[in-house]
Homo-oligomer: A and B are copies of this chain.
């Protein structure tokens, strides 16, 4: 046994325990009886303690010092383990415990403040979360930009500057596109109500159409859809809405994209660091390309229109072209999670700029609400009406997840790049999609992105698939072309 073998034997158990901890989370959102909550908190904490102790086990340090990678895969595994070991070891136990305690409290405070529409009651604990995350960033990365240290948890290698430059290029064209679209007449909405069981039936059909493997997964309902697990057990959830079945269908397709990434990784990497998606951004690129570039395309919505007619009869949309416009309807709104392809990224850009300024100290917590409202009015052209539609709408900051938001838009940018390359590689794609056949697209994504898991850093993962460094250009070109067509701009 070499040091690498010893390390990987240990790591394999750590990965298996990580899967168990993740499964507990799935259970909590889908199956767990309400009254079990306090006990589950103790179970989660016990698993977190075990995982934390393994991540900083001194033997891991010894093995890392001695291990010689035999190939690219081994080098990637060592890189991931080293990163986790060093990051975990650098954060004092006292700080980690205080962060866990404070974010748990902040989460509850946020929920109450949001219900009360009372920003002031949330700010003191948010200030504490910001201070603790800054302290953590400083422990990890010394005097470098604290935001970069936090970003690295979600998107290894990314920096605030690199993302900031990309987002600065996105913003004006998105604002202009949004404004042009909203000057045009809005497409029709769906009319009527849609049976819950029938939505779930068609949702499962969609999951299977996008290649989701039910032999290694399952679909359940959850309040907030998510995907969970890696390797041989990757589960997704969805939800239904009586008047908006698209919420169900596109939640499903989105989660299938995440699940396809995990299910698509080479089985040789099972329960190793390389055997999981490499970053939040690349993960989101898969969910978004399934959901948007494939699922909301003219060709695929043509097929979906027929499926919905079969399932639901008449719902007030005359033909495939009108249905395509309905699926891609752009309208005013305050909420990120309900936003369309065009406006979604504007919501993210706003959060990115604000959280970066919070971390650098350029923005005080006390000025956060007015900064949010000013920026929103500038980009969207109307004012936030209440905090739950503004600065209190998302859970992330209460949980200390600074650096997480930009991965949503990074995912869209990556999806734009991948779509451009995929369209060249699969010239028959629209023909296939119009028959509900995604197989050539999903195979291309599997072969060029998914199978590699964590083998390459995020940017290299996309560059390997497309032949180019990722940039915002393809996403913008795609959005402008698509929405110019729908809205006759």
The reply to whether A38 and B218 contact each other, CB–CB distance below 8 Å, is no
Pick the residue among B34, B39, B42, B216 that contacts A33 (CB under 8 A). B216
A20 to B24 alpha-carbon distance, docked (Å): 8
Whether A20 contacts B47 in the complex (CB less than 8 A), given A27-B27, A31-B31, A233-B33, comes out as yes
In chain A, positions 1-59 with a C-beta closer than 8 Å to chain B are: 12-14, 16-17, 19-20, 23-24, 27, 31-40, 42-43, 45-47, 49-50
- Shortest beta-carbon distance from A15 to chain B in Å: 9
A50 to B247 alpha-carbon distance, docked (Å): 42
- Shortest beta-carbon distance from A367 to chain B in Å: 42
Whether A43 contacts B31 in the complex (CB less than 8 A), given A13-B49, A49-B13, A232-B38, comes out as no
The reply to whether A233 and B17 contact each other, CB–CB distance below 8 Å, is no
The reply to whether A215 and B34 contact each other, CB–CB distance below 8 Å, is yes
The reply to whether B23 and A27 contact each other, CB–CB distance below 8 Å, is yes
The reply to whether B50 and A17 contact each other, CB–CB distance below 8 Å, is yes
The reply to whether A13 and B215 contact each other, CB–CB distance below 8 Å, is no
In terms of DSSP, what is the predominant structure of the interface of chain A? helix
State the oligomeric state as a number of copies.
Answer: 2
Whether A43 contacts B24 in the complex (CB less than 8 A), given A50-B50, A218-B31, comes out as no
A32 to B235 alpha-carbon distance, docked (Å): 9
The reply to whether A215 and B17 contact each other, CB–CB distance below 8 Å, is no
- Shortest beta-carbon distance from A269 to chain B in Å: 12
A306 to B23 alpha-carbon distance, docked (Å): 42
Residues of B within 8 A of A216 (CB): 33, 35-36
A-B contact pairs, 10 of them (CB 8 A): A16-B42, A19-B39, A19-B43, A20-B24, A23-B24, A31-B31, A34-B215, A35-B213, A35-B215, A39-B232
